[in-house]
Chains A and B, each alone.
Chain A
Amino acid sequence: MLTFLKKDVVVLLRDRTELLVLLLMPIILTVILGFALNGMFAGGFTSFDMKVAVVDQNDRSAGMEQFTEEVSQLSMPDAGKNQLMKAAESADPSAMLTNLLEDEELGQVMEVEKMNETKAEQALGEGEVTALLKIPEDFTYLSLKSMLLEQGKGADLEVVEGKDSALMAGIFHDTIDRFVHTFNFEAAVAKTADGKEMPGPASGGTGEGLGGTITVTEQEPITSIEYYSIGMAVMFAMYVASTIASKAYVENYQNVFARILLSGKHPLLYLSGKAISTSVLVFMQLVLLFSMGRFVLHAFADNSWRFWLGMLVISAVFSLCIGALGALLTAITVKAESNVVPGIFSGGIVSVLAMLGGSFFPVSGMPELFTNLGNWTPNGIMLNTTLQWAQGLGPSFITPLIVRLLLLTVLLIGLSLLIFSKRRAA
């Protein structure tokens, strides 16, 4: 087995172009995307300049009144009611939203102007503002109700995007989205602290924030460099799989494989050799890229051995999964006796998977189908796992994701065995 591995590693090392693509490209892209799209992350906006109209129709006092009314009708002790009211007053959702919008970092790139609805829509139509945020009349009421009474889904913040600068508007949309998430998350944490029952995240109850979409908490913000260090690493790991498969073709599988059979070795030795080579190469690639991220790009400031041990474990599982993917692509290549499939994979499928999995931008703002698909791509799972780990969420959060990754691995191995055993008898 080591013989196969050594051979595959040597072959890959000899291919300078391939090596550059697999190692240098992700670093370059990380730097480019990391700096260019810096603004998408809690690390701070620096390079965008946009104007956003806010139509604030929220009636805070009416909302508080309505909420007080509702609380007073609850069948619970007065002490509890008092506590709820206190919480409501200190929470003040609209203040939190305003804070976010006027936040210093956000303010560097985003100018927020309050307008009335007609004026705002006119401004949007004329392209004076990039997007329009509508805070509904019952924002305070609905938010409090959702946060503290666990009733309803909270207020709907309406973001209207201008048609000219979809990217900017998308970023704004994303920011608001993240606010809502963070908001819910903090409310959840606050409530747990209050000792009230709520489904724990580890039990998988709160779906959204944990199943896969990124939850950027205030405690451990992810910088864009960190995000793309991971995003690009997982994307380029997939190229290793297609490279190995296409090398299987180039290294004239038919003839070499005959030699291996003639030596009396089992045919599967060939395929497992490919899987293991892919895994080991991906693992080495990840270690290299993350080290680069750490020491050159100053990402992942967490130096604890626990953090890096976790990263190693996650990377190892991901490497196995990509190894299985490599075996699958090899099996298909060998069966089809053509290099087309690895070509299609590296030329298109990787990009699609990378996009679905969030390598280019967070997919939290995308339609549900999109995010669901992304949550089943190996790179998507890996990205989420790593992000959550880097944000300081514990093993109980990432275990389900790792299990999912292992499941995917088993599935891919099964598929590749099926295809390989049906190859043309040679």
Chain B
Amino acid sequence: MLKGESAVLETTNLKKAFKKNVAVSDVNLYLDKGESVGLLGPNGAGKSTAISMISSLVKPSAGDVTWHGKSVVKDPNVIRMHLGVVPQDIALYKELTAVENLRFFGRIYGLRGKELESRMANVLEIVGLTERKNELVKHYSGGMQRRVNIAVALLHEPEIIIMDEPTVGIDPQSRNYILEMVQKLNEEQGMTVLYTSHYMEEVERLCDRIYIMDHGKVIASGTKQELTGILSSEETIWLELDRSYPGLVAELNDMEEILRVIETDKGIKLITPKNSRLLGSIFQAAERQQAQIISLNVQVPTLEDVFLHLTGRKLRD
């Protein structure tokens, strides 16, 4: 079977222009059932706009979005009930408690009575807020608000969940909690996930496939391996030392296979060809110079490096 053959969601040449400002152009992406897909890009790349078009809230200037082959642009209702959206901003009534918010939005989705109550209990469990469900949302921490924001999107048991930067501005524990939760939803419940972020660690960790967006366009896509394969075949080796060893620097400089030696205040940075198996020689050199190696770190290229390579800019500016 070809990739994208069984896509549940697909966009073709999706475009959105706000007056002269083209926010999204020619975005083609697909999600297979049960897949976890990341949309990575810096602020202003057009991720939220793309997501709004996918979730039928914004009409595209051109192109189409299909859900199981049916056009979402023509009839938004083909996707709405199957879709859970976690918006970038907290979309909750802050004067209400978590339970009251869930009840309100559940009712809007037509849920009633026992079914509503049991689903509320279920999503509260998923986001880990059962204990504090009766507190006003405005009294929650940022992380807890984000969790309720997600809970509301899960209430009607959607087939696919689209999350727009769900971890922005929260503490590491909450962030970790959310990431684990998304992972569980995807792996254990088979939920299809479209995850938007400008944190490459998050999409690296969560997603089977990644689309990198910049200036409204998808500039690269594929699995993490495929993406990092784009980069030239180099590797960075970090040697952290207790002090500077000019002799070691000289010896490393004389080694043919090492492309560059850069001395820093903490140690030495080496640029080598990929898979050059130089670690043994490096240790022997250090032995000879009686250098104390505090740590050694082989850096393979990250998505950050890929982005840097493709755009000449960092992901987070």
Which of B87, B104, B156 is within 8 Å of A255, CB to CB?
A: B87
Q: Does B255 have its Cβ within 8 Å of any Cβ on chain A? A: no
Instruction: Please state if A263 and B109 are interface contacts (CB–CB under 8 Å).
Output: yes
Q: Does A3 have its Cβ within 8 Å of any Cβ on chain B? A: yes
Instruction: Please state if B91 and A259 are interface contacts (CB–CB under 8 Å).
Output: yes
Q: Does A425 have its Cβ within 8 Å of any Cβ on chain B? A: yes
Instruction: Please state if B55 and A7 are interface contacts (CB–CB under 8 Å).
Output: no
User: Chain B interface: which of A10-18, A41-49, A91-99, A190-198?
Assistant: A10-18
Instruction: Please state if A3 and B108 are interface contacts (CB–CB under 8 Å).
Output: yes
Digit string of B47-66 for contact with A (CB within 8 Å is 1, else 0)?
Answer: 00000000111110000000
Q: Does A258 have its Cβ within 8 Å of any Cβ on chain B? A: yes
Inter-chain contacts of A14 with B (CB < 8 A): 95-96, 136
Instruction: Please state if A3 and B107 are interface contacts (CB–CB under 8 Å).
Output: yes
Digit string of B61-80 for contact with A (CB within 8 Å is 1, else 0)?
Answer: 00000000000000011001
Q: How far is the CB of A8 from chain B (nearest CB, A)?
A: 10
Q: How far is the CB of A16 from chain B (nearest CB, A)?
A: 11
Instruction: Please state if B80 and A10 are interface contacts (CB–CB under 8 Å).
Output: no
Q: How large is the interface on B (under 10, 10 to 19, 20 to 34, 35 or more residues)?
A: 20 to 34
Q: Does B26 have its Cβ within 8 Å of any Cβ on chain A? A: no
Q: Does A264 have its Cβ within 8 Å of any Cβ on chain B? A: yes
Q: Does B100 have its Cβ within 8 Å of any Cβ on chain A? A: yes
Q: How far is the CB of A337 from chain B (nearest CB, A)?
A: 13
Q: Does A256 have its Cβ within 8 Å of any Cβ on chain B? A: yes
Residue of B nearest to A265 (CB): B108
Instruction: Knowing A3-B108, A7-B100, say if A262 contacts B93 (CB, 8 Å).
Output: no
Inter-chain contacts of A3 with B (CB < 8 A): 104, 107-108
Instruction: Please state if A7 and B83 are interface contacts (CB–CB under 8 Å).
Output: no
Residue of B nearest to A2 (CB): B107
Residue of B nearest to A256 (CB): B91
- Give complex CA distance A261, B55 in Å: 10
Q: Does A251 have its Cβ within 8 Å of any Cβ on chain B? A: yes
Instruction: Please state if A11 and B58 are interface contacts (CB–CB under 8 Å).
Output: no
A80-137 residues at the B interface, CB under 8 angstroms: none
Instruction: Please state if B91 and A252 are interface contacts (CB–CB under 8 Å).
Output: yes
Q: Does A74 have its Cβ within 8 Å of any Cβ on chain B? A: no
- Give complex CA distance A11, B95 in Å: 6
Q: Does B308 have its Cβ within 8 Å of any Cβ on chain A? A: no
Q: How far is the CB of A12 from chain B (nearest CB, A)?
A: 9
Q: Does A426 have its Cβ within 8 Å of any Cβ on chain B? A: yes
Inter-chain contacts of A25 with B (CB < 8 A): none
Q: How far is the CB of A294 from chain B (nearest CB, A)?
A: 32
Q: Does A260 have its Cβ within 8 Å of any Cβ on chain B? A: yes
Inter-chain contacts of B90 with A (CB < 8 A): 252, 255
Which of A7, A15, A263, A426 is within 8 Å of B80, CB to CB?
A: A263
Residue of A nearest to B104 (CB): A7
- Give complex CA distance A264, B81 in Å: 7
Q: Does B31 have its Cβ within 8 Å of any Cβ on chain A? A: no
Inter-chain contacts of A426 with B (CB < 8 A): 57-58
- Give complex CA distance A3, B100 in Å: 10
Which of B77, B95, B105 is within 8 Å of A259, CB to CB?
A: B105
Inter-chain contacts of B59 with A (CB < 8 A): 425
Instruction: Please state if A251 and B80 are interface contacts (CB–CB under 8 Å).
Output: no
Inter-chain contacts of A256 with B (CB < 8 A): 91-93
Q: Does B251 have its Cβ within 8 Å of any Cβ on chain A? A: no
- Give complex CA distance A263, B106 in Å: 9
Q: Does B120 have its Cβ within 8 Å of any Cβ on chain A? A: no
Residue of A nearest to B84 (CB): A262
Q: Does B85 have its Cβ within 8 Å of any Cβ on chain A? A: yes
- Give complex CA distance A258, B152 in Å: 13
Q: Does B313 have its Cβ within 8 Å of any Cβ on chain A? A: no
Instruction: Please state if A251 and B95 are interface contacts (CB–CB under 8 Å).
Output: yes
B95-129 residues at the A interface, CB under 8 angstroms: 95-96, 100, 104-105, 107-110
Inter-chain contacts of A264 with B (CB < 8 A): 76-77, 80-81
Instruction: Please state if A7 and B93 are interface contacts (CB–CB under 8 Å).
Output: yes
- Give complex CA distance A337, B186 in Å: 37
Inter-chain contacts of A259 with B (CB < 8 A): 85, 87, 91, 105, 108, 152
Inter-chain contacts of A11 with B (CB < 8 A): 93, 95-96
Inter-chain contacts of B105 with A (CB < 8 A): 259, 263
Q: How far is the CB of B61 from chain A (nearest CB, A)?
A: 12
Residue of B nearest to A264 (CB): B80
Instruction: Please state if A255 and B89 are interface contacts (CB–CB under 8 Å).
Output: yes
Inter-chain contacts of B83 with A (CB < 8 A): 262
- Give complex CA distance A261, B110 in Å: 13
Residue of B nearest to A426 (CB): B57
Instruction: Please state if A10 and B91 are interface contacts (CB–CB under 8 Å).
Output: no
Q: Does B205 have its Cβ within 8 Å of any Cβ on chain A? A: no
Q: How far is the CB of A154 from chain B (nearest CB, A)?
A: 59
Instruction: Please state if A258 and B85 are interface contacts (CB–CB under 8 Å).
Output: yes
A248-295 residues at the B interface, CB under 8 angstroms: 251-252, 254-256, 258-265
Q: Determine which residue in A251, A256, A425 has the highest number of CB atoms from chain B within 10 A of its CB, and name it.
A: A256
Digit string of A300-317 for contact with B (CB within 8 Å is 1, else 0)?
Answer: 000000000000000000
Instruction: Please state if B55 and A251 are interface contacts (CB–CB under 8 Å).
Output: no
Residue of B nearest to A14 (CB): B95
B155-194 residues at the A interface, CB under 8 angstroms: 156
Q: Determine which residue in B59, B87, B108 has the highest number of CB atoms from chain A within 10 A of its CB, and name it.
A: B108
- Give complex CA distance A6, B89 in Å: 24
Q: Which 7 A-B pairs have the closest CB atoms?
A: A255-B91, A3-B107, A263-B108, A11-B95, A264-B80, A263-B109, A255-B89
Q: List 18 A-B contacts (CB under 8 A).
A: A3-B108, A7-B93, A7-B96, A10-B100, A251-B93, A252-B91, A255-B87, A255-B90, A256-B93, A259-B87, A259-B152, A262-B55, A262-B57, A262-B80, A263-B80, A263-B109, A264-B81, A425-B59
Given pairs A6-B104, A7-B93, 20 additional interface contacts (CB within 8 A): A10-B95, A11-B93, A11-B96, A15-B95, A251-B94, A252-B90, A254-B89, A255-B90, A258-B87, A259-B87, A259-B105, A260-B108, A261-B57, A262-B83, A262-B85, A263-B108, A263-B156, A264-B76, A264-B81, A426-B58
Which residues of B approach A to under 8 Å, CB–CB? 55-59, 76-77, 80-81, 83, 85, 87, 89-96, 100, 104-105, 107-110, 136, 152, 156
